[in-house]
Amino acid sequence: MHNKSIRRDFGLTWKSRLGEARARAAARGPQLSREQIANLQGEVFSVDVSSPENMALLWSGRDILTGVPMDEATPDGSKWWDKLSCREAEVFRALGIACCLEDTTGGEFLIGSHLNYPEKDPLFLVARNLWDVLSSRFAGAATGRIEIIAEGAFNDSVFRTVELETLLSNDKITTINGLDREYFPSNAGDAFSLLRRWDVERSWRYSEFISSTSDATPHERATALDDFREIQLWYEQDFFEHLGPSRELQALPKEVIDAVDQSKAAGAWKYSTEWREFIRQAEEEL
């Protein structure tokens, strides 16, 4: 049985997410001396960021700009960016089928340092660089199958600027989102494009799998189809200039079309018992 606090109904929980975002913005990090910064830099280069084999998950994107002000007293001020990739990652983590940087000793250390600063604060870049180091080391230490949630990932995101290149040079990784790593080009930009297009194909395959599985529930089928449609909409938004005249998606290379989703063979990702049970129980709670 899964923990009933695990939720995917993001439309019902937006107020709590907004409250957390406002709390983070209000909790400005401590002032740091040069010595303290040097100590933090030394720590992130040595602290453990390893993850169990076949469980590393990286996330970025799905940032949605809302019309809700971050400061209720300043309605014309900056608006709330709702971040959903991390929420989706939380589900996999809570089900015990993924490990993110935040779950490692290094991630816990930096989160516990409360280095929250507005972008105009010089310490913002210090904190960003610390996360860059930890993120790169986490990607470099990953082994086996890895998962990435990256719909809508910005060009200047940590994933796009740091983690992806590290992943592509990590020969201990066997598959990325179920696709054998041999299919991914070494160029990070080309690899990102393939990853995102493969995710659409992969989600469609999963939806077809659930649709044809005799013991799948109606909610499982509806959820798989909704997830596929969402993945495709994100792709169409992010790669609009690459769509065909009738909004056709870019064609995948034949070898990728013919490739097997290794996560299915391994009973991992959404093919796992934990995920399917979670979705089924969510149906019972409706």
Reading phi first (left if > 0) and then psi (alpha if -120 to 50, else beta), residue 78 is in: beta
Q: Which of 199, 193, 192 is nearest to 164 (CA)?
A: 192
Q: Percentages helix, strand, coil for the chain, rounded to the nearest 5?
A: 55, 10, 35
List the domain boundaries for the chain: 14-284
Question: 205-237: b or e for each residue (b if 16 or more CB lie within 10 Å)?
Answer: ebbeebeeeeebbeebbebbbebbeebbebbee
Return phi, psi of residue 188, to 5°: -65, -40
Calculate the alpha carbon distances from 23 to 17, 70, 71, 165, 189 in Å.
10, 10, 10, 33, 35
Beta pairing partners, 30: none
Token duo for residue 53? 């084999």
CA distance 43 to 41: 5
Sign, CA dihedral 138-140-141-146, equals positive
- Each residue's pLDDT, cut to its tens digit, for the chain (286 residues) gives 345 577 788 888 899 999 999 999 899 999 999 999 999 999 999 999 999 999 999 999 999 999 999 999 999 999 999 999 999 999 999 999 999 999 999 999 999 999 999 889 999 999 999 999 999 999 999 999 999 999 999 999 999 999 999 999 999 999 999 999 999 999 999 999 999 999 999 999 999 999 999 999 999 999 999 999 999 999 999 999 999 998 999 999 999 999 999 999 999 999 999 999 999 988 776 6
